[in-house]
Structure 1
Protein backbone atom coordinates (compact mmCIF):
# COMPACT_ATOMS: atom_id res chain seq x y z
CA UNK A 1 0.00 0.00 0.00
CA UNK A 2 1.12 3.55 -0.60
CA UNK A 3 1.55 5.92 2.33
CA UNK A 4 1.32 9.69 2.35
CA UNK A 5 3.59 12.51 3.48
CA UNK A 6 1.84 15.87 3.33
CA UNK A 7 -0.69 14.48 0.80
CA UNK A 8 2.02 13.41 -1.68
CA UNK A 9 1.90 9.58 -1.87
CA UNK A 10 4.94 7.33 -1.66
CA UNK A 11 4.83 4.41 -4.11
CA UNK A 12 7.14 1.46 -3.59
CA UNK A 13 8.13 0.26 -7.07
CA UNK A 14 9.10 -3.14 -5.70
CA UNK A 15 9.65 -5.55 -8.57
CA UNK A 16 9.42 -2.70 -11.09
CA UNK A 17 12.58 -1.07 -9.72
CA UNK A 18 15.92 -1.43 -11.48
CA UNK A 19 18.24 -4.25 -10.50
CA UNK A 20 15.51 -6.73 -9.60
CA UNK A 21 16.42 -10.10 -11.04
CA UNK A 22 12.93 -11.53 -11.36
CA UNK A 23 10.39 -10.40 -13.92
CA UNK A 24 7.64 -8.33 -12.24
CA UNK A 25 4.47 -10.28 -11.61
CA UNK A 26 1.29 -8.95 -13.20
CA UNK A 27 -0.17 -8.14 -9.80
CA UNK A 28 2.87 -5.95 -9.13
CA UNK A 29 2.32 -4.04 -12.36
CA UNK A 30 -1.34 -3.53 -11.42
CA UNK A 31 -0.51 -2.48 -7.85
CA UNK A 32 1.95 0.18 -8.99
CA UNK A 33 -0.45 1.27 -11.74
CA UNK A 34 -3.26 1.75 -9.24
CA UNK A 35 -1.08 3.75 -6.85
CA UNK A 36 0.33 5.95 -9.61
CA UNK A 37 -3.20 6.62 -10.81
CA UNK A 38 -4.23 7.72 -7.34
CA UNK A 39 -1.30 10.14 -7.19
CA UNK A 40 -1.64 11.58 -10.69
CA UNK A 41 -5.41 11.94 -10.39
CA UNK A 42 -4.96 13.73 -7.08
CA UNK A 43 -2.03 15.96 -6.17
CA UNK A 44 -0.17 15.20 -9.43
CA UNK A 45 3.07 14.32 -7.62
CA UNK A 46 4.42 11.05 -6.24
CA UNK A 47 7.53 9.88 -4.42
CA UNK A 48 9.03 6.71 -5.92
CA UNK A 49 10.77 4.41 -3.46
CA UNK A 50 12.90 1.36 -4.29
CA UNK A 51 13.37 2.63 -7.84
CA UNK A 52 16.84 1.11 -8.18
CA UNK A 53 18.84 4.19 -9.21
CA UNK A 54 21.80 4.24 -6.79
CA UNK A 55 21.93 7.12 -4.31
CA UNK A 56 25.70 7.13 -4.78
CA UNK A 57 25.22 8.04 -8.45
CA UNK A 58 22.83 10.85 -7.59
CA UNK A 59 25.32 12.21 -5.04
CA UNK A 60 28.05 12.17 -7.68
CA UNK A 61 25.84 14.23 -9.98
CA UNK A 62 25.11 16.71 -7.18
CA UNK A 63 28.82 16.97 -6.43
CA UNK A 64 29.91 17.61 -10.00
CA UNK A 65 27.03 20.07 -10.50
CA UNK A 66 28.10 21.97 -7.39
CA UNK A 67 31.62 22.24 -8.82
CA UNK A 68 30.28 23.76 -12.01
CA UNK A 69 27.99 26.28 -10.34
CA UNK A 70 30.82 27.37 -8.01
CA UNK A 71 32.95 28.43 -10.98
CA UNK A 72 33.48 32.11 -11.74
CA UNK A 73 30.72 33.71 -13.75
CA UNK A 74 33.08 34.39 -16.65
CA UNK A 75 33.79 30.67 -16.95
CA UNK A 76 30.18 29.56 -16.65
CA UNK A 77 29.02 31.99 -19.30
CA UNK A 78 31.36 30.30 -21.80
CA UNK A 79 28.73 27.55 -21.79
CA UNK A 80 25.72 29.87 -22.00
CA UNK A 81 22.69 28.77 -24.00
CA UNK A 82 23.15 30.16 -27.49
CA UNK A 83 19.56 31.29 -27.95
CA UNK A 84 16.12 31.23 -26.33
CA UNK A 85 15.20 28.13 -28.32
CA UNK A 86 18.42 26.31 -27.54
CA UNK A 87 18.10 23.06 -25.58
CA UNK A 88 21.57 23.00 -24.02
CA UNK A 89 23.78 25.23 -21.94
CA UNK A 90 24.06 27.47 -18.90
CA UNK A 91 21.38 29.96 -17.85
CA UNK A 92 22.24 32.80 -15.47
CA UNK A 93 20.07 34.14 -12.66
CA UNK A 94 16.90 35.89 -13.82
CA UNK A 95 17.31 34.85 -17.46
CA UNK A 96 14.24 32.63 -17.30
CA UNK A 97 10.82 33.54 -15.96
CA UNK A 98 8.70 30.49 -15.34
CA UNK A 99 5.76 32.41 -13.90
CA UNK A 100 4.22 34.40 -16.77
CA UNK A 101 0.95 35.07 -14.98
CA UNK A 102 2.16 37.70 -12.52
CA UNK A 103 4.31 40.82 -12.55
CA UNK A 104 7.94 40.27 -13.44
CA UNK A 105 9.78 38.49 -10.62
CA UNK A 106 13.55 38.25 -10.18
CA UNK A 107 14.28 34.51 -10.18
CA UNK A 108 17.29 33.58 -8.03
CA UNK A 109 18.18 30.43 -9.91
CA UNK A 110 20.90 29.17 -12.22
CA UNK A 111 20.40 26.22 -14.56
CA UNK A 112 22.36 24.01 -16.90
CA UNK A 113 20.48 22.17 -19.66
CA UNK A 114 21.76 18.92 -21.17
CA UNK A 115 20.28 16.88 -24.00
CA UNK A 116 22.86 15.12 -26.19
CA UNK A 117 25.07 13.02 -23.96
CA UNK A 118 27.61 12.15 -26.65
CA UNK A 119 27.98 15.49 -28.42
CA UNK A 120 26.43 17.94 -25.98
CA UNK A 121 27.79 21.02 -24.24
CA UNK A 122 29.84 19.96 -21.21
CA UNK A 123 32.46 21.87 -19.17
CA UNK A 124 35.03 19.16 -19.89
CA UNK A 125 38.01 21.34 -18.96
CA UNK A 126 36.68 22.63 -15.64
CA UNK A 127 34.51 19.69 -14.43
CA UNK A 128 35.48 16.67 -16.54
CA UNK A 129 33.51 14.20 -14.41
CA UNK A 130 30.18 15.94 -15.02
CA UNK A 131 29.71 14.27 -18.40
CA UNK A 132 30.27 10.72 -17.14
CA UNK A 133 28.08 11.24 -14.08
CA UNK A 134 25.24 12.78 -16.08
CA UNK A 135 25.48 10.11 -18.76
CA UNK A 136 25.23 7.37 -16.15
CA UNK A 137 22.17 9.00 -14.57
CA UNK A 138 20.64 9.53 -18.00
CA UNK A 139 21.11 5.84 -18.86
CA UNK A 140 19.54 4.78 -15.56
CA UNK A 141 16.54 7.03 -16.14
CA UNK A 142 16.11 5.57 -19.62
CA UNK A 143 15.78 2.14 -18.04
CA UNK A 144 13.28 3.30 -15.43
CA UNK A 145 11.00 5.55 -17.49
CA UNK A 146 9.55 2.81 -19.76
CA UNK A 147 8.45 0.92 -16.66
CA UNK A 148 6.64 4.00 -15.40
CA UNK A 149 5.05 4.58 -18.81
CA UNK A 150 3.85 0.97 -18.89
CA UNK A 151 2.32 1.27 -15.41
CA UNK A 152 0.65 4.54 -16.45
CA UNK A 153 -0.88 2.81 -19.49
CA UNK A 154 -2.26 0.05 -17.27
CA UNK A 155 -3.60 2.67 -14.86
CA UNK A 156 -5.74 4.09 -17.67
CA UNK A 157 -6.88 0.66 -18.94
CA UNK A 158 -4.93 1.16 -22.17
CA UNK A 159 -2.73 -1.30 -24.01
CA UNK A 160 0.35 -1.70 -21.82
CA UNK A 161 2.65 -0.35 -24.54
CA UNK A 162 0.52 2.71 -25.37
CA UNK A 163 2.83 5.30 -23.77
CA UNK A 164 6.09 3.52 -24.60
CA UNK A 165 5.16 3.35 -28.29
CA UNK A 166 4.47 7.08 -28.20
CA UNK A 167 7.84 7.86 -26.59
CA UNK A 168 10.16 5.88 -28.87
CA UNK A 169 12.48 8.84 -29.57
CA UNK A 170 13.20 9.14 -25.84
CA UNK A 171 15.82 6.41 -26.13
CA UNK A 172 18.01 8.56 -28.35
CA UNK A 173 17.23 12.03 -26.96
CA UNK A 174 17.04 12.99 -30.65
CA UNK A 175 15.98 16.36 -32.01
CA UNK A 176 12.53 14.84 -32.55
CA UNK A 177 12.11 14.60 -28.77
CA UNK A 178 11.92 17.60 -26.46
CA UNK A 179 13.07 15.75 -23.32
CA UNK A 180 16.02 17.32 -21.53
CA UNK A 181 17.99 16.97 -18.33
CA UNK A 182 18.41 20.08 -16.22
CA UNK A 183 20.60 20.92 -13.26
CA UNK A 184 19.18 23.67 -11.04
CA UNK A 185 21.15 25.67 -8.50
CA UNK A 186 19.63 28.07 -5.99
CA UNK A 187 22.50 30.29 -4.75
CA UNK A 188 22.53 32.41 -1.60
CA UNK A 189 20.36 35.50 -1.97
CA UNK A 190 22.68 38.19 -3.34
CA UNK A 191 22.79 41.70 -1.85
CA UNK A 192 20.54 44.36 -3.37
CA UNK A 193 18.14 41.72 -4.63
CA UNK A 194 14.94 43.28 -6.04
CA UNK A 195 11.96 43.23 -3.70
CA UNK A 196 9.94 41.02 -6.05
CA UNK A 197 12.23 38.01 -5.96
CA UNK A 198 11.62 34.29 -5.94
CA UNK A 199 13.67 31.15 -6.39
CA UNK A 200 11.51 29.60 -9.08
CA UNK A 201 8.20 31.05 -10.28
CA UNK A 202 4.93 29.15 -10.11
CA UNK A 203 4.57 26.87 -13.11
CA UNK A 204 3.52 23.49 -14.42
CA UNK A 205 5.96 21.29 -16.32
CA UNK A 206 5.25 21.03 -20.03
CA UNK A 207 6.14 17.41 -20.83
CA UNK A 208 4.74 14.00 -19.97
CA UNK A 209 6.45 13.43 -16.61
CA UNK A 210 9.38 14.95 -14.71
CA UNK A 211 11.79 12.95 -12.57
CA UNK A 212 13.14 15.23 -9.84
CA UNK A 213 16.17 14.25 -7.76
CA UNK A 214 16.19 16.43 -4.63
CA UNK A 215 19.07 17.25 -2.33
CA UNK A 216 18.55 17.74 1.40
CA UNK A 217 17.79 21.47 1.21
CA UNK A 218 14.14 21.23 0.19
CA UNK A 219 12.00 24.26 -0.53
CA UNK A 220 9.73 22.88 -3.24
CA UNK A 221 6.02 23.51 -2.78
CA UNK A 222 3.13 22.07 -4.77
CA UNK A 223 -0.49 23.15 -4.89
CA UNK A 224 -2.87 20.38 -3.88
CA UNK A 225 -6.39 19.83 -5.18
CA UNK A 226 -7.83 22.19 -2.53
CA UNK A 227 -5.55 25.02 -3.66
CA UNK A 228 -3.36 24.81 -0.55
CA UNK A 229 0.42 24.84 -0.82
CA UNK A 230 2.10 21.63 0.35
CA UNK A 231 5.79 21.17 1.17
CA UNK A 232 7.38 18.51 -1.05
CA UNK A 233 10.05 17.70 1.51
CA UNK A 234 13.03 15.61 0.36
CA UNK A 235 12.74 11.96 1.32
CA UNK A 236 16.13 10.23 1.13
CA UNK A 237 16.37 7.57 -1.55
CA UNK A 238 13.23 8.61 -3.42
CA UNK A 239 12.56 10.30 -6.74
CA UNK A 240 9.81 12.91 -6.88
CA UNK A 241 7.78 12.52 -10.07
CA UNK A 242 5.07 14.80 -11.40
CA UNK A 243 2.68 14.86 -14.31
CA UNK A 244 3.16 17.55 -16.94
CA UNK A 245 0.91 19.55 -19.22
CA UNK A 246 1.22 17.06 -22.07
CA UNK A 247 0.08 14.18 -19.86
CA UNK A 248 -2.85 16.22 -18.57
CA UNK A 249 -3.95 16.96 -22.13
CA UNK A 250 -3.32 13.39 -23.23
CA UNK A 251 -5.55 12.05 -20.44
CA UNK A 252 -8.27 14.72 -20.83
CA UNK A 253 -7.47 16.09 -17.39
CA UNK A 254 -7.60 12.77 -15.56
CA UNK A 255 -3.92 13.07 -14.64
CA UNK A 256 -3.22 16.52 -13.20
CA UNK A 257 -0.31 18.82 -14.06
CA UNK A 258 0.17 20.42 -10.64
CA UNK A 259 1.45 23.95 -10.06
CA UNK A 260 4.71 24.10 -8.14
CA UNK A 261 7.22 26.70 -6.97
CA UNK A 262 10.31 27.17 -4.80
Structure 2
Protein backbone atom coordinates (compact mmCIF):
# COMPACT_ATOMS: atom_id res chain seq x y z
CA UNK A 1 0.00 0.00 0.00
CA UNK A 2 1.43 3.37 -1.02
CA UNK A 3 1.53 5.96 1.75
CA UNK A 4 2.31 9.66 1.63
CA UNK A 5 5.68 10.15 3.38
CA UNK A 6 6.21 12.44 6.37
CA UNK A 7 9.48 14.40 6.07
CA UNK A 8 11.08 16.34 8.91
CA UNK A 9 12.51 19.61 7.58
CA UNK A 10 14.60 20.26 10.71
CA UNK A 11 17.38 18.10 9.35
CA UNK A 12 17.50 20.24 6.22
CA UNK A 13 17.33 23.71 7.75
CA UNK A 14 19.54 23.17 10.82
CA UNK A 15 22.01 20.46 9.90
CA UNK A 16 25.22 19.57 8.15
CA UNK A 17 25.63 18.55 4.52
CA UNK A 18 25.22 14.80 5.15
CA UNK A 19 21.95 15.17 7.06
CA UNK A 20 20.64 17.69 4.54
CA UNK A 21 21.36 15.25 1.74
CA UNK A 22 19.29 12.59 3.50
CA UNK A 23 16.29 14.97 3.48
CA UNK A 24 16.92 15.84 -0.18
CA UNK A 25 16.83 12.12 -0.99
CA UNK A 26 13.50 11.72 0.84
CA UNK A 27 12.05 14.69 -1.04
CA UNK A 28 13.21 13.26 -4.38
CA UNK A 29 11.62 9.90 -3.60
CA UNK A 30 8.32 11.49 -2.52
CA UNK A 31 8.06 13.71 -5.60
CA UNK A 32 9.10 10.92 -7.94
CA UNK A 33 6.86 8.19 -6.55
CA UNK A 34 3.66 9.97 -5.48
CA UNK A 35 4.05 13.76 -5.83
CA UNK A 36 2.77 14.42 -2.28
CA UNK A 37 4.49 14.70 1.11
CA UNK A 38 3.77 15.92 4.63
CA UNK A 39 6.36 18.34 6.04
CA UNK A 40 7.03 18.44 9.78
CA UNK A 41 8.82 21.34 11.49
CA UNK A 42 8.20 23.57 8.50
CA UNK A 43 8.85 26.78 10.42
CA UNK A 44 5.23 27.95 9.99
CA UNK A 45 3.71 29.47 13.13
CA UNK A 46 0.75 27.47 14.51
CA UNK A 47 -0.79 30.68 15.85
CA UNK A 48 -0.51 32.38 12.47
CA UNK A 49 -2.11 29.41 10.70
CA UNK A 50 -4.99 29.49 13.19
CA UNK A 51 -5.43 33.24 12.69
CA UNK A 52 -5.74 32.74 8.94
CA UNK A 53 -8.29 29.93 9.39
CA UNK A 54 -10.30 32.19 11.73
CA UNK A 55 -10.17 35.04 9.22
CA UNK A 56 -11.21 32.66 6.45
CA UNK A 57 -14.21 31.39 8.45
CA UNK A 58 -15.36 34.93 9.24
CA UNK A 59 -15.19 35.84 5.54
CA UNK A 60 -17.18 32.81 4.37
CA UNK A 61 -19.78 33.49 7.06
CA UNK A 62 -20.61 36.84 5.43
CA UNK A 63 -23.84 37.14 3.42
CA UNK A 64 -23.45 36.07 -0.21
CA UNK A 65 -24.18 39.57 -1.54
CA UNK A 66 -21.27 40.94 0.52
CA UNK A 67 -18.88 38.25 -0.73
CA UNK A 68 -20.02 38.83 -4.31
CA UNK A 69 -18.86 42.46 -4.08
CA UNK A 70 -15.35 40.98 -4.21
CA UNK A 71 -16.17 38.46 -6.92
CA UNK A 72 -13.50 36.81 -9.07
CA UNK A 73 -13.72 38.56 -12.43
CA UNK A 74 -11.25 37.02 -14.89
CA UNK A 75 -8.36 34.58 -15.28
CA UNK A 76 -5.87 37.39 -15.93
CA UNK A 77 -6.35 38.73 -12.41
CA UNK A 78 -7.37 35.43 -10.74
CA UNK A 79 -8.25 37.06 -7.42
CA UNK A 80 -11.47 37.50 -5.46
CA UNK A 81 -14.45 35.41 -4.37
CA UNK A 82 -15.48 32.27 -6.28
CA UNK A 83 -19.00 31.04 -5.52
CA UNK A 84 -20.27 27.50 -4.98
CA UNK A 85 -20.36 25.41 -8.21
CA UNK A 86 -18.63 28.23 -10.12
CA UNK A 87 -15.56 26.05 -10.65
CA UNK A 88 -15.55 22.70 -12.38
CA UNK A 89 -12.13 21.17 -11.75
CA UNK A 90 -13.21 17.95 -13.44
CA UNK A 91 -14.77 19.14 -16.74
CA UNK A 92 -16.81 15.94 -17.00
CA UNK A 93 -18.59 16.45 -13.67
CA UNK A 94 -21.00 19.05 -12.19
CA UNK A 95 -19.61 22.19 -10.51
CA UNK A 96 -17.61 21.77 -7.30
CA UNK A 97 -19.39 22.07 -3.94
CA UNK A 98 -17.02 24.68 -2.56
CA UNK A 99 -16.45 28.41 -2.39
CA UNK A 100 -13.07 30.12 -2.42
CA UNK A 101 -11.28 33.42 -2.03
CA UNK A 102 -8.06 34.09 -3.96
CA UNK A 103 -5.45 36.62 -2.90
CA UNK A 104 -2.29 37.82 -4.66
CA UNK A 105 0.74 39.36 -2.92
CA UNK A 106 -0.51 42.88 -3.68
CA UNK A 107 -4.07 42.01 -2.66
CA UNK A 108 -2.97 40.60 0.71
CA UNK A 109 -1.78 44.04 1.82
CA UNK A 110 -5.28 45.50 1.73
CA UNK A 111 -6.95 42.66 3.62
CA UNK A 112 -5.44 41.84 7.02
CA UNK A 113 -2.00 41.80 8.65
CA UNK A 114 -2.23 38.06 9.33
CA UNK A 115 -2.82 37.39 5.60
CA UNK A 116 0.31 39.37 4.67
CA UNK A 117 2.38 37.53 7.31
CA UNK A 118 1.01 34.18 6.19
CA UNK A 119 1.71 34.90 2.51
CA UNK A 120 5.30 35.82 3.39
CA UNK A 121 5.76 32.71 5.57
CA UNK A 122 4.40 30.48 2.81
CA UNK A 123 6.76 32.12 0.31
CA UNK A 124 9.68 31.42 2.64
CA UNK A 125 8.69 27.77 3.08
CA UNK A 126 8.11 27.35 -0.66
CA UNK A 127 11.61 28.70 -1.32
CA UNK A 128 13.06 26.10 1.08
CA UNK A 129 11.16 23.31 -0.68
CA UNK A 130 12.32 24.59 -4.08
CA UNK A 131 15.87 24.55 -2.73
CA UNK A 132 15.51 20.84 -1.84
CA UNK A 133 14.15 20.19 -5.35
CA UNK A 134 17.17 21.84 -6.98
CA UNK A 135 19.59 19.83 -4.85
CA UNK A 136 17.63 16.64 -5.52
CA UNK A 137 18.15 17.19 -9.26
CA UNK A 138 21.82 18.22 -8.91
CA UNK A 139 21.05 21.77 -10.00
CA UNK A 140 22.42 25.00 -8.46
CA UNK A 141 20.73 25.46 -5.08
CA UNK A 142 18.91 28.65 -6.14
CA UNK A 143 17.88 27.37 -9.60
CA UNK A 144 14.13 27.27 -8.89
CA UNK A 145 14.05 30.01 -6.26
CA UNK A 146 15.34 32.75 -8.58
CA UNK A 147 12.73 31.73 -11.15
CA UNK A 148 10.01 32.35 -8.56
CA UNK A 149 11.36 35.64 -7.19
CA UNK A 150 8.46 37.84 -8.36
CA UNK A 151 6.18 35.99 -5.96
CA UNK A 152 3.54 35.30 -8.55
CA UNK A 153 1.78 33.01 -6.07
CA UNK A 154 -1.90 32.72 -5.15
CA UNK A 155 -3.17 32.25 -1.61
CA UNK A 156 -6.55 30.54 -1.67
CA UNK A 157 -8.95 30.08 1.24
CA UNK A 158 -11.50 27.31 0.68
CA UNK A 159 -14.81 26.46 2.32
CA UNK A 160 -16.76 23.29 1.61
CA UNK A 161 -20.20 23.97 3.14
CA UNK A 162 -22.38 21.34 4.83
CA UNK A 163 -24.71 19.59 2.37
CA UNK A 164 -28.34 20.57 2.75
CA UNK A 165 -29.57 18.61 -0.27
CA UNK A 166 -28.24 15.49 -2.06
CA UNK A 167 -25.48 16.25 -4.59
CA UNK A 168 -26.02 15.92 -8.33
CA UNK A 169 -24.83 12.61 -9.86
CA UNK A 170 -21.03 12.57 -9.87
CA UNK A 171 -20.77 15.83 -7.91
CA UNK A 172 -18.02 16.12 -5.27
CA UNK A 173 -16.49 18.87 -3.15
CA UNK A 174 -13.53 19.32 -5.51
CA UNK A 175 -13.27 17.41 -8.76
CA UNK A 176 -10.30 15.30 -9.79
CA UNK A 177 -7.49 17.58 -10.97
CA UNK A 178 -3.78 18.31 -10.83
CA UNK A 179 -2.42 21.68 -9.73
CA UNK A 180 -1.12 24.04 -12.38
CA UNK A 181 2.06 25.55 -10.95
CA UNK A 182 5.32 24.25 -9.53
CA UNK A 183 4.34 23.33 -5.96
CA UNK A 184 1.36 23.75 -3.64
CA UNK A 185 1.40 24.12 0.14
CA UNK A 186 -1.83 22.87 1.72
CA UNK A 187 -3.20 23.44 5.22
CA UNK A 188 -6.40 21.56 6.10
CA UNK A 189 -8.72 21.03 9.05
CA UNK A 190 -9.53 17.54 10.35
CA UNK A 191 -12.88 17.02 8.59
CA UNK A 192 -11.19 15.03 5.83
CA UNK A 193 -12.08 14.16 2.26
CA UNK A 194 -8.82 14.83 0.41
CA UNK A 195 -7.77 11.88 -1.74
CA UNK A 196 -4.65 11.37 -3.84
CA UNK A 197 -4.27 9.07 -6.86
CA UNK A 198 -1.29 6.72 -6.83
CA UNK A 199 0.66 5.82 -9.98
CA UNK A 200 -1.28 2.54 -9.96
CA UNK A 201 -4.52 4.53 -10.24
CA UNK A 202 -5.75 3.83 -6.70
CA UNK A 203 -7.17 6.61 -4.51
CA UNK A 204 -5.73 6.97 -1.01
CA UNK A 205 -6.78 9.32 1.78
CA UNK A 206 -4.61 12.29 2.75
CA UNK A 207 -5.92 12.94 6.24
CA UNK A 208 -4.77 15.90 8.29
CA UNK A 209 -1.67 15.17 10.40
CA UNK A 210 -1.28 17.73 13.22
CA UNK A 211 1.53 20.27 12.79
CA UNK A 212 2.34 19.30 9.22
CA UNK A 213 1.98 21.03 5.86
CA UNK A 214 1.09 19.00 2.78
CA UNK A 215 3.24 19.76 -0.26
CA UNK A 216 2.47 18.51 -3.73
CA UNK A 217 4.11 19.04 -7.08
CA UNK A 218 2.19 20.67 -9.93
CA UNK A 219 2.04 20.49 -13.72
CA UNK A 220 4.84 22.93 -14.44
CA UNK A 221 7.26 21.04 -12.19
CA UNK A 222 6.26 17.82 -13.95
CA UNK A 223 6.95 19.44 -17.34
CA UNK A 224 10.23 20.94 -16.14
CA UNK A 225 11.47 17.58 -14.87
CA UNK A 226 10.16 15.41 -17.72
CA UNK A 227 7.97 13.42 -15.27
CA UNK A 228 10.86 12.75 -12.87
CA UNK A 229 8.63 14.63 -10.39
CA UNK A 230 4.96 13.82 -10.91
CA UNK A 231 1.94 16.12 -10.81
CA UNK A 232 -0.61 13.94 -9.07
CA UNK A 233 -4.38 13.96 -9.52
CA UNK A 234 -6.28 14.65 -6.30
CA UNK A 235 -9.86 15.43 -5.27
CA UNK A 236 -12.04 16.23 -2.24
CA UNK A 237 -14.87 13.77 -1.72
CA UNK A 238 -18.13 14.17 0.17
CA UNK A 239 -18.01 12.29 3.50
CA UNK A 240 -20.40 9.34 3.81
CA UNK A 241 -21.03 9.92 7.52
CA UNK A 242 -22.07 12.77 9.85
CA UNK A 243 -19.19 14.95 8.65
CA UNK A 244 -21.36 15.72 5.62
CA UNK A 245 -23.16 18.13 7.98
CA UNK A 246 -19.92 19.95 8.82
CA UNK A 247 -18.07 22.69 7.02
CA UNK A 248 -14.60 21.77 5.78
CA UNK A 249 -11.93 24.48 5.54
CA UNK A 250 -8.53 24.45 3.89
CA UNK A 251 -5.94 26.96 2.72
CA UNK A 252 -3.80 26.39 -0.37
CA UNK A 253 -0.74 28.38 -1.41
CA UNK A 254 -0.16 27.90 -5.12
CA UNK A 255 3.47 28.58 -5.92
CA UNK A 256 4.01 29.67 -9.50
CA UNK A 257 7.16 30.64 -11.44
CA UNK A 258 7.59 34.14 -12.87
CA UNK A 259 5.31 34.52 -15.93
CA UNK A 260 8.19 34.91 -18.39
CA UNK A 261 10.09 31.81 -17.26
CA UNK A 262 10.33 29.26 -20.05
CA UNK A 263 9.43 25.82 -18.76
CA UNK A 264 11.61 23.56 -20.88
CA UNK A 265 12.77 20.05 -20.03
CA UNK A 266 15.89 20.18 -17.85
CA UNK A 267 18.96 18.53 -19.30
CA UNK A 268 19.41 16.47 -16.13
CA UNK A 269 15.96 14.95 -16.75
CA UNK A 270 16.61 13.81 -20.33
CA UNK A 271 18.91 10.90 -19.53
CA UNK A 272 16.23 8.21 -19.66
CA UNK A 273 13.79 9.74 -22.14
CA UNK A 274 13.66 12.63 -24.57
CA UNK A 275 11.52 15.68 -23.68
CA UNK A 276 7.81 14.83 -23.36
CA UNK A 277 6.55 18.42 -23.67
CA UNK A 278 7.49 21.38 -25.85
CA UNK A 279 8.70 24.49 -23.99
CA UNK A 280 6.02 26.88 -22.71
CA UNK A 281 6.05 30.14 -20.77
CA UNK A 282 4.82 29.70 -17.19
CA UNK A 283 2.29 32.56 -17.50
CA UNK A 284 0.80 31.17 -20.72
CA UNK A 285 0.31 27.75 -19.17
CA UNK A 286 -1.42 29.15 -16.07
CA UNK A 287 -3.75 31.23 -18.21
CA UNK A 288 -4.73 28.27 -20.38
CA UNK A 289 -5.52 26.11 -17.35
CA UNK A 290 -7.60 28.82 -15.64
CA UNK A 291 -9.58 29.39 -18.83
CA UNK A 292 -10.35 25.67 -18.99
CA UNK A 293 -11.40 25.58 -15.31
CA UNK A 294 -13.83 28.49 -15.48
CA UNK A 295 -15.03 28.08 -19.07
CA UNK A 296 -17.59 30.64 -20.19
CA UNK A 297 -20.02 30.21 -17.30
TM interval, shorter chain, is 0.7 to 0.9
In the alignment, which of 45, 49, 53 is matched to residue 58 of structure 1?
Answer: 49
In the alignment, which of 2, 21, 41 is matched to residue 30 of structure 1?
Answer: 21
Tell me: CA distance 1:198–1:134, structure 2 relative to 1, closer, same or farther (3 Å): same
- Deviations along 1:105-163, whole A, 9 cap, x unmatched? 131100000003467664xxxxxxxx212111111112222211111111111121211
Confirm whether residue 147 of structure 1 aligns to residue 128 of structure 2: yes
| Matched residue, 1:138 | 119
Tell me: CA distance 1:105–1:121, structure 2 relative to 1, closer, same or farther (3 Å): farther
| Matched residue, 1:238 | 212
Query: What is the alpha-carbon root mean square deviation over aligned residues?
Result: 1.8
Q: Is the 8 A contact 2:108 2:119 kept in 1?
A: no
| Matched residue, 1:174 | none
Helix, strand or coil for the counterpart of 2:42?
coil
Matched residues in 2 for 1:84 and 1:118: separation? 15
In the alignment, which of 5, 8, 14 is matched to residue 12 of structure 1?
Answer: 8
Q: Is the 8 A contact 1:88 1:121 kept in 2?
A: no
| Matched residue, 1:180 | 154
TM-score under structure 1 length normalisation? 0.85
Tell me: CA distance 1:146–1:223, structure 2 relative to 1, closer, same or farther (3 Å): same
| Matched residue, 1:225 | 199
Task: Report the Cα offset of residue 196 of structure 1.
Answer: 3.5
How many pairs were matched up? 236
In the alignment, which of 174, 183, 194 is matched to residue 200 of structure 1?
Answer: 174
Tell me: CA distance 1:231–1:117, structure 2 relative to 1, closer, same or farther (3 Å): same
Q: Is the 8 A contact 2:7 2:40 kept in 1?
A: yes
Structure 2 unaligned residues grouped into runs of 5+: 237-297
Task: Report the Cα offset of residue 198 of structure 1.
Answer: 1.0
Matched residues in 2 for 1:6 and 1:252: separation? 22
Task: Report the Cα offset of residue 191 of structure 1.
Answer: 2.6
| Matched residue, 2:90 | 99
Matched residues in 2 for 1:97 and 1:105: separation? 7
Q: Is the 8 A contact 2:182 2:219 kept in 1?
A: yes
Task: Report the Cα offset of residue 87 of structure 1.
Answer: 1.7
